[in-house]
Amino acid sequence: MTLANKRILLIISGGIAAYKSLDLIRRLRERGASVRPIMTRAAQEFVTPLAVGALSASHVYSELFSREDEQDVGHIRLARDCDLIVVAPASADLMAKMAHGLADDLASAVLLAADRPVLVAPAMNPKMWNNPATLRNVAQLKADGIRFIGPMAGEMAESGEAGTGRMAEPLDIVAAVEACLSDRSQKPLACRKAIVTSGPTHEPIDPVRYIANRSSGKQGHAIAAALAQLGAEVTLISGPVTIADPAGVTVIHVERAEEMRDAVLAHLPADLAVMVAAVADWRVETASDQKIKKQPGDAPPALRLAENPDILKTVGHHAQRPKLVIGFAAETSDVETNGRAKLERKGADVIVANDVSPQTGIMGGDRNRVKLIFKDRIEDWPEMDKDAVGEKLALMLAEMLASA
């Protein structure tokens, strides 16, 4: 009974995915939650109020100007008499109303009046999801603190098209609900959004060669997993690695530094950014589209290098800067001096610095020893495995966010 005594206000909007809301109601009630449903007029074209009411064992609300329901300003009462509002499915139309503060029906009026957390599960055609207007609305809702689960990639039920737009499965939505409503002492990062970068970047020289480094991604992946364990909604942007994606984390795979930067910026705003990736400082200015062949008697080809984007500095000085920005400094000498200089230069709150000289075995290995460089102090942590570093760092960041 993980949701015992929790009150969920479920808003069902129009779309074929509305049929999944019936299973979602059943799954929520199995875990002890009470579910009070609101249906838009469009939703009633796909599932009936009778079915929703039977599964929820509750009155189904649908009209803003109902004489019976509005005698005590019902839309305000609905907005406040719950622990969490879930919108599943959330249509493009309803999200547009939310983003622009419209309130011309019961669902949108309740959402405008809400002072409770809101979790949205979008569902629509892939072209509608990727339309610039929808993307603008989603960005605005995320900036307003609305939490998202999905949409997922797959085949659309109504059209046979494939792409991103499917509503998340009911059990995934239930897991997101549990994370948002978990005991804060156990899930102190519930409903917090975190971005983590991990691994190396590969900067192409030609189709078969590239500039890279020895980063394994183990530390970044461990931090992402630890943040997710504390309840955070984690997006991990990973360069090329050979380790498995951590569970409970949304992973975006990239290769080049410019791709990593674009992915990070696309996922702002966030509460927390942990920039662990060992991003290549330089790339070949003009990569060859054909393999560079060695010719007898010819000198080695000259590679003209260009500077890669500084992702940590970009995030640290961004207009949508997260509340906490954590950078990593892999050094082979003067760890504290270089780490402190990086802290001041990049606009970070903390730099996690370590000595990655070959004799330490840290880069690519399973253990790490780090120094945390703050503006006013330095913490020297003992050597431990990278999972333990991730767990200790995640707990510290949760405390920092709570007091921010």
Mean confidence (pLDDT) of the chain: 90
Q: Beta strands of 167-302 (E only): which ranges?
A: 193-198, 203-206, 209-211, 233-238, 250-253, 272-275, 282-284
Instruction: Please write the tens of the pLDDT for every residue from 287-301.
Output: 999 999 888 888 888
Distance, CA of 13 to CA of 105 (rounded, Å): 11
Instruction: Please write the tens of the pLDDT for every residue from 24-39.
Output: 999 999 999 999 999 9
Name residue, tokens 């999905």: 150
346 is in an annotated binding site: yes
Pairing of strands 370-373, 350-355: antiparallel
Catalytic residue, chosen from 125, 131, 213, 338, is 213
Counting beta carbons within 10 angstroms of the beta carbon of residue 70, is it exposed (0 to 12), middle (13 to 18) or buried (19 or more)?
Answer: middle
291 is in an annotated binding site: yes
How confident is the model at residue 158, as a pLDDT? 60
Q: Residue 65 above 80 pLDDT?
A: no
Angle 125-131-136 from CA coordinates, rounded to 5°: 125
How confident is the model at residue 128, as a pLDDT? 93
Mean pLDDT of 283-290: 92
Q: Residue 322 above 80 pLDDT?
A: yes
Mean pLDDT of 235-251: 91
Q: Which domains does the chain have, with CATH numbers?
A: 7-181 (3.40.50.1950), 193-403 (3.40.50.10300)
Distance, CA of 36 to CA of 60 (rounded, Å): 7
How confident is the model at residue 139, as a pLDDT? 86
Q: Do the beta carbons of residue 325 and residue 273 sit within 8 Å?
A: yes
72 secondary structure, DSSP code: T
Sign of the alpha-carbon dihedral angle for 251, 256, 257, 261? negative
Please state the pTM of the whole predicted model: 0.62
Q: Do the beta carbons of residue 68 and residue 62 sit within 8 Å?
A: no
Angle 309-312-318 from CA coordinates, rounded to 5°: 90
> Which residue type is seen at 77?
R
144 is in an annotated binding site: no
E strand or H helix at 7: strand 7-12
Answer yes or no: 5 catalytic.
no
Distance, CA of 147 to CA of 235 (rounded, Å): 13
Torsion of CA 329, 332, 336, 337, to 10 degrees: -100
Confidence class of residue 226 from pLDDT cuts 50, 70 and 90? very high
How confident is the model at residue 363, as a pLDDT? 76
Name residue, tokens 């929808």: 134
Pairing of strands 324-331, 272-275: parallel
Q: Residue 4 above 70 pLDDT?
A: yes
311 is in an annotated binding site: yes
281 is in an annotated binding site: yes
Return the structure tokens found at 266: 């696309």
Q: Do the beta carbons of residue 204 and residue 287 sit within 8 Å?
A: yes
Please list the residues that pair with 196 across neighbouring strands.
236, 274
Distance, CA of 81 to CA of 69 (rounded, Å): 14
Q: Residue 67 above 80 pLDDT?
A: no
- In percent, the amount of the chain with pLDDT more than 70 equals 95
How confident is the model at residue 68, as a pLDDT? 66
Q: What is the DSSP track for 13-28?
A: -SSTTHHHHHHHHHHH
